[in-house]
């Protein structure tokens, strides 16, 4: 039967988001290195906090998230009144598009930026605009050249996914100061915790009224399965988002786990240092066998092969060995594979498989 109920124009043009693969049929020793998850998982404190709420599943969660916002405020030195919690940072991306963009408006992002920027823009009827990068880095001048009277939102991930590259704060500040007065700059800090001493550009938020920051608990905190994020911005922006978010958009167990995770700074520091060690190992070994990769400020490496065919063949070799990585053709990087920095043994397996592959590859 053909339904007479039709969605809004443009909705069916939105491509479905495809997450990183997690399983290989017939293989029991699969290592998932496709979604940039923390291979060491969540901290012990976060796990205990989550489990402690098992006896209170009948009770509605806090709608103001005050305990978690306070913990975030203390650890990240931000104004608690301007922190907003969300069901993953994806929810904030969607809410920002709902609140500030629509038909006739443009939403800008870089050509290799996170796919959700485009999908959320399309979801509200706005026009997504991909701006060229410069050698896989955000090109501030290119963004400023494209921004116009229709530009309502600009999304920049710094460090960026899936490239792993990062631009300095002075360039981000120049971008914020050069945008049209009616344009909001959103700085996606999903990987900010992997950069030692980096505040995710919170200081830029404090100094300006056109900058908003998003963060996530899915990466270094190891809480991807719980879906938790937070944002920080001007008071009027935060107030607007509170008006359209669900009153109970984050459940009680997640709030408790997030609070414990952000307060466990020793564990976060340990994960950062261990990731840096194996990230450097992986990049050094890849470059040594002729696989190009940029300096990464994240928990993944973007491996660049000589062609799409070579990347496909390398992906198959890794998959056959039980190692799942992420092909990034949907990001316009057909010749690349994004490889999460796993545990030491996982990184060594990746190197071994790729070395054997390169030894036998004929272009």
Query: 97 pLDDT exceeds 90?
Result: yes
Mean pLDDT of 29-54: 95
CA torsion through residues 24, 29, 31, 37, sign = positive
CATH number, domain with residue 286: 3.90.1150.10
Mean pLDDT of 250-259: 97
Judge if 119 and 225 occupy the same domain.
yes
Judge if 259 and 166 occupy the same domain.
yes
57 lies in which domain range?
44-263
pLDDT digits over 55-83, tens only? 999 999 999 999 999 999 999 999 999 99
Judge if 184 and 226 occupy the same domain.
yes
Task: Please state the domain count of the chain.
Answer: 2
Query: 124 pLDDT exceeds 70?
Result: yes
- What local confidence, expressed as pLDDT, does residue 22 receive? 60
Mean pLDDT of 198-207: 97
Burial 10-34 (b: 16+ CB within 10 A, else e): eeeeeeeeeebeeebeeeeebbbbb
Mean pLDDT of 252-273: 98
Query: 15 pLDDT exceeds 90?
Result: no
Q: Are 188 and 216 in contact (CB under 8 A)?
A: no
CATH number, domain with residue 189: 3.40.640.10
Query: 314 pLDDT exceeds 80?
Result: yes
Q: What angle do CA 359, 33, 30 make, to 5 degrees?
A: 85
- The residue among 263, 278, 301 that closes a domain is 263
The per-residue pLDDT of the chain, averaged, comes to 94
> pLDDT band for position 227 (50/70/90)?
very high
Judge if 281 and 148 occupy the same domain.
no
Q: Which of 358, 239, 338 lies closest to 289 in space, CA to CA?
A: 358
- What local confidence, expressed as pLDDT, does residue 17 receive? 59
Query: 28 pLDDT exceeds 90?
Result: no
Q: For residue 357, what is the enclosing H or E element?
A: helix 344-360
- What local confidence, expressed as pLDDT, does residue 93 receive? 98
pTM, to two decimals: 0.93
Q: Are 232 and 208 in contact (CB under 8 A)?
A: no
pLDDT digits over 161-196, tens only? 999 999 999 999 999 999 999 999 999 999 999 999
- What local confidence, expressed as pLDDT, does residue 362 receive? 79
- What local confidence, expressed as pLDDT, does residue 19 receive? 65
- The residue among 263, 279, 314 that closes a domain is 263
Identify which has the larger pLDDT, 10 or 232.
232
Residue 193 is classified by DSSP as: G
Judge if 239 and 318 occupy the same domain.
no
In this structure, how many other beta carbons lie within 10 angstroms of the beta carbon of residue 300?
Answer: 28
Judge if 122 and 208 occupy the same domain.
yes
Nearest-angstrom CA–CA distance, 234 and 363? 53
């Amino acid at each position: 039967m053909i339904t007479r109920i039709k969605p809004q124009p443009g909705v069916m043009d939105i491509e479905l988001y495809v997450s990183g693969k997690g399983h290989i049929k017939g293989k029991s020793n699969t290592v998932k290195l496709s979604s940039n998850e923390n291979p060491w998982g969540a901290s012990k404190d976060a796990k205990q906090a989550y489990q402690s709420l098992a006896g209170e599943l009948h009770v509605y969660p806090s709608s103001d998230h005050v305990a978690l916002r306070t913990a975030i405020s203390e650890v990240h030195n931000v104004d608690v009144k301007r922190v907003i919690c969300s069901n993953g940072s994806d929810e904030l991306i969607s809410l920002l598009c709902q609140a500030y963009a629509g038909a006739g408006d443009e939403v800008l992002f870089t050509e290799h930026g996170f796919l959700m920027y485009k999908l959320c823009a399309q979801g509200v009827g706005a026009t997504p605009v991909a701006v060229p990068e410069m050698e896989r880095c955000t090109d501030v001048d290119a963004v400023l050249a494209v921004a116009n009277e229709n530009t309502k939102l600009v999304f920049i991930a710094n460090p960026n996914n899936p490239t792993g590259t990062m631009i300095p704060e002075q360039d981000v500040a120049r971008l914020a100061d050069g945008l049209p007065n009616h344009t909001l700059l959103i700085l996606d800090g999903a990987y900010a915790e992997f950069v030692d001493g980096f505040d995710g550009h919170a200081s830029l938020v404090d100094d300006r009224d056109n900058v908003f920051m998003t963060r996530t608990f899915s990466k270094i905190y190891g809480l991807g399965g719980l879906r938790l994020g937070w944002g920080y911005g001007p008071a009027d922006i935060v107030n607007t988002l509170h008006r359209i978010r669900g009153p109970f958009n984050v459940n009680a167990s997640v709030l408790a786990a997030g609070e414990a995770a952000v307060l466990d700074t020793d564990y976060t520091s340990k994960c950062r240092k261990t990731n840096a060690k194996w990230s450097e190992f992986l990049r050094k070994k890849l470059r040594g066998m002729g696989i190009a990769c940029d300096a990464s400020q994240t928990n993944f490496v973007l491996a660049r092969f000589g062609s799409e065919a070579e990347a496909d063949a390398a992906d198959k070799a890794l998959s056959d060995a039980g190692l799942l990585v992420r092909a990034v053709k949907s990001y316009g990087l057909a010749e690349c594979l994004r490889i999460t920095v796993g545990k030491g043994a996982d990184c060594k397996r990746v190197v071994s498989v790729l070395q054997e592959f390169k030894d036998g590859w004929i272009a």
